[in-house]
Every structure is written in C-alpha cells, then in structure tokens.
C-alpha cells in the first residue's frame, strides 16, 4: 500500500499506529501517521539539535553504544563474528540474547571478544552500553 492509500485508510480509523506484517504473518514493524507524512514530505525539522551517534569511540579504544543500534552494523564496526540469529536485530537484543535475562545497570556480558556493560536502562529497555575489548592471554609454545 502506498503512502496516500495509507493516509486515506487512516482517516477513517481511530488507531494511531499500524502493525506491518509480511505475507507470512511475521511482524515487520510499526507505522505511525508521522512516519507516513515523513515518507511523503520528508523529514521534519526539530529543535533537538544534531542526532547523537549510535556508536562513539573513546580515547581508550572502548565504544559508547546505543542499545537501538543495528547489531550487524556494530558487529561490522568492531569486527565481531558472533553467531547471528533472527532472534535479535539491535545491540540491546544481542546483549539480551547473550545474558538470557533482563539486565540491570552495571551488568556485563562478553560477546565476540568484547565486554558489554549496561550503562543506562530506560525502564526495561537497554539504552546505552560500553563496549570494551577483552584482553586475550597469549601462551607461548613452551607452556
């Protein structure tokens, strides 16, 4: 359905958002009226200033990472070859899958040679993480 058809449908509906699914019934996402208008007329200007980057490298080589960052982008950025499943799409989802529980601030988990520490939670959502390369111990052939 194109944007104009969607707007016509939305005019007669009390719903503020629409669930989008593919032909197999798998949930693909949510579309709001603002999303439709943005698709038609372009992005809206806000007074929020420039968007904060999803990942920012710090001087010590660690990374501050948004939980909403796509997991495949972070894995490519950090060189992580972690097993990719359809169970998650974001860095927060990757950390949840590795922890196998809802974390709290300060909790850590190691994925693909990187230690992820939960810095900030927004309710039950992982908002910010700190990614630090784990130290590997190299053993000589004589040990």
Domain that holds residue 36: 3-41
- Tell me the pLDDT tens digit for each residue of 9-48: 777 777 777 777 877 888 878 878 777 777 777 766 665 5
Same domain for 90 and 31?
A: no
CA distance 20 to 27: 6
Whether residue 120 sits in one domain with residue 64: yes
* Same domain for 65 and 37: no
pTM of the model: 0.61
Taking the C-alpha atoms of residue 113 and residue 132, their distance in angstroms, rounded to an integer, is: 9
pLDDT in tens, 48-88: 555 667 899 999 999 999 999 999 899 999 988 766 665 78
Q: Any residues with CB less than 8 A from the CB of 125 and at least 6 apart, and which?
A: 67, 92
Q: What residue ranges in the chain does DSSP mark as E strands?
A: 17-21, 27-32, 55-57, 63-66, 108-111, 114-122, 125-133
* CA dist., res. 82 & res. 116, Å (int): 13
């Amino acid at each position: 359905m194109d944007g104009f058809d969607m707007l016509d449908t939305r005019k007669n509906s009390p719903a503020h958002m629409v669930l989008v699914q593919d032909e197999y019934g798998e949930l693909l996402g949510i579309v709001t009226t603002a999303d439709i208008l943005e698709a038609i007329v372009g992005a809206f200007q806000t007074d929020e200033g420039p968007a904060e980057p999803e990942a920012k490298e710090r001087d010590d080589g660690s990374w501050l990472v948004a939980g909403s960052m796509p997991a495949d982008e972070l894995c490519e950025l950090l060189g992580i070859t972690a097993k990719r499943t359809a169970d998650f799409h974001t860095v927060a989802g990757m950390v949840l899958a590795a922890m196998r529980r809802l974390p709290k601030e300060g909790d850590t988990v190691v994925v693909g040679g990187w230690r992820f520490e939960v810095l900030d939670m927004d309710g039950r959502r992982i908002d910010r993480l700190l990614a630090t390369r784990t130290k590997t111990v190299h053993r000589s052939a004589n040990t």
